[in-house]
A and B are shown apart, each in its own frame.
Chain A
Amino acid sequence: MFNLQAFSTQKSPVSDGPTAVALARIRGLLTKLLHNPETGVLYLLNGDASPITKGMLCRFDADNRVTPTTYLFGDTPVVCLADSLPAGEWGFFRFAGEADVRLINAIAPSPSDVVYVGGVDGLGDISAPGGAGTWIKQVGWLLDETSYVTVTNPLVRVVLEPCCGIYNPII
């Protein structure tokens, strides 16, 4: 991922004067760019009663507001970037690019797996849902699962490519 901190470190020899002012403004501008829809990031409100944690998949439930989602909805998911976003607060969510996505526990993810919206609020799965009334909703493709530890750190690195959902009809 793009590391803005590298710039912060590199500019340290210049601490005042017009050059320092210019650099500070450029850094401010780049920071905004990295938290902008042009780079796949949205600023949204947590509409849930509980905190939304890093990597949770969320859906829009009102204007500029999201809640953790499951395969019962066909909406395009966004991924929480904040470590923990309290209920009723605003935070950053990613809809394009790469993101750490939180999966359900006790599975064995591997690179190039499809990640789907799962059956637990906010969590992804590598198995497509098959039950009546569910949506097969792709979130993206798994790039790196090496940090996945069930329960304690169920996060995997995913390139986000939400594809059109397929609805399993209720017969």
Chain B
Amino acid sequence: MFNLQAFSTQKSGVSDGSVANALNKIRSLLTKLLHSPETGVIELTSGEVVEDIVKGKIVALDNEIYQCVRAYADDGPGQPFTCRGFAVCLSDLVEPGEKGFFRFAGEADTILEPSLTPGAGESVYVSTTVYGSGTNVAPTGNNEWVRKVGYIKDASQYTAGPPVNLFVRMILDKCCENQIQA
């Protein structure tokens, strides 16, 4: 990922005056660019009522403007179907009603369900059992939706622990897959 801190380091030789002022403004501008739709990031409000949305959780658009909730791919009786316009939470923690940054395109560290054996190159789908998590096993149950979010680029961090680490590095790619049958 692009490292804005590298720029911060390079400017350290200049601490004041018009040049330092200009560099600070450029860095501020680049920070905004890296948090803009042009680079795949959109600021959304959490529509959750109780639960926080933490970094790596998969969210879906909600029915209010620029609002999201944790994604969930089961629309069976009593289940809220929340599978529209997926993104991954970049902010450490977004409380209900608060704003945070969410990535729609590019790469993101994404939380999977526990007890999986993910591998690089596998597809990630929205979970039907854990709100906001992904899974490398395509849902097959009644009322469940097969909603692909992307591909695993690196699963080396994922471990059942202890300590538990459910993150994988994912390339967001949400297009449907169709296999030609013989």
Contacts and interface: CB of A to CB of B under 8 A. Distances in A.
Contact of A22 (B22, B32, B40): B22
Given A2-B38, A39-B38, A111-B61, 13 more contacts: A1-B37, A1-B38, A7-B26, A10-B25, A19-B22, A23-B22, A33-B33, A96-B105, A97-B37, A97-B40, A111-B62, A111-B67, A159-B61
A139 B42 CA distance: 17
A48 interface: no
A120 interface: no
Contacts of A34: 38
Interface of B: 18-19, 21-22, 25-26, 29, 32-33, 36-40, 42, 60-67, 84-85, 104-105, 174-176, 178
A10 B61 CA distance: 34
A75 interface: no
Interface in A13-40: 13-14, 19, 22-23, 26, 30, 33-34, 39-40
Contacts of A7: 25-26, 29
A47 B175 CA distance: 29
Contacts of B21: 13-14
A33 B176 CA distance: 30
Contacts of A39: 38-39
Contacts of B175: 163-164
Contacts, number: 87
A110 B72 CA distance: 20
A98 B84 contact: no
A95 to B, nearest CB: 11
Contacts of B29: 6-7, 10, 30
B38 A3 contact: no
B26 A26 contact: yes
Contact of B62 (A3, A112, A140, A163): A112
A96 B173 CA distance: 13
A97 B62 CA distance: 18
Contacts of B42: 98, 143, 159
Contact of A112 (B33, B63, B176, B178): B63
Nearest to A113: B84
A146 interface: yes
B25 A19 contact: no
Contact of B84 (A2, A97, A114): A114
A2 B32 contact: yes
A135 interface: no
A33 B30 CA distance: 11
Contacts of B176: 163-164
Nearest to A40: B38
A7 to B, nearest CB: 5
B100 to A, nearest CB: 15
Contacts of B65: 111, 143-146
